[in-house]
Amino acid sequence: MSIRVLGIDHIVLRTRDVAGLIRFYCEVLGCTVEKRRDDLGLVHLRAGRSMIDLVDVAGPLGKMGGAPPGAEGKNLDHFALRIETFDGDAIRAHVTAAGATASSVMDNFGAEGNGPSLYVRDPDGNTVELKGPPR
C-alpha cells in the first residue's frame, strides 16, 4: 500500500474566543462558516478546498486538549493559506484596517514552489502565512 497526500484537508485550532476567531477568519481572510457542532464546541470554517476547525477550550473536545493556547504554549508554529491573487500592499492595508499586523512580503517556498507570502497573527496569536502563486 502507498499513501499519496493530496493536500491539507483541515487544521484544528483550540481557542478561548471562538467568536473572535470566526470574525478574523471570515471577515479578514474571507473564510465562511460551513458547519457548527455546538454539542462539541466545534465550528468548521471553509477555507477554499480545506477547512479550519475551531474548538472551544471550554467545550467537550477542547477540555481534552489541556491548557488553552497562549504566550507560553501555542497550537502550532504556523499554517499557510494559499490565496488566489497576491498584492502585498493591498493585503497589508486590509489586515491593518482590521486591527491586525502583517509582516513584510517575502519570497518563501511552499507546495507550488517559491512565491510571495506574508505572515499575520489571528486574535489567539496563531501565525497564518498568506501564500501567493509561485513565481
Tell me how far the alpha carbon of residue 14 is from its chain's centroid. 12
CA dihedral 77, 49, 57, 19 (to 10 degrees): 110
Position 76 scores a pLDDT of 74
Q: Please list the residues that pair with 35 across neighbouring strands.
A: 44
Write the pLDDT tens digit of every residue in 25-37.
999 999 999 999 9
The residue-averaged pLDDT of 20-48 equals 95
- Range list of β-strands (E), 1-135: 10-15, 32-37, 42-47, 50-56, 78-82, 106-110, 113-121, 127-131
Cell 507570502 sits on residue: 117
Write the pLDDT tens digit of every residue in 68-124.
877 777 677 689 999 888 999 999 999 999 999 899 999 998 888 899 999 999 998
Residue 63 has pLDDT above 90, yes or no: no
Q: Tell me the whole-structure pTM to 2 decimals.
A: 0.79
Residue 6 has pLDDT above 80, yes or no: no
Cβ-Cβ contacts under 8 Å for 20 (sequence gap 6 or more): 123, 124
Position 3 scores a pLDDT of 60
More confident residue, 74 or 40: 40
Residue 57 has pLDDT above 80, yes or no: yes
More confident residue, 10 or 74: 10
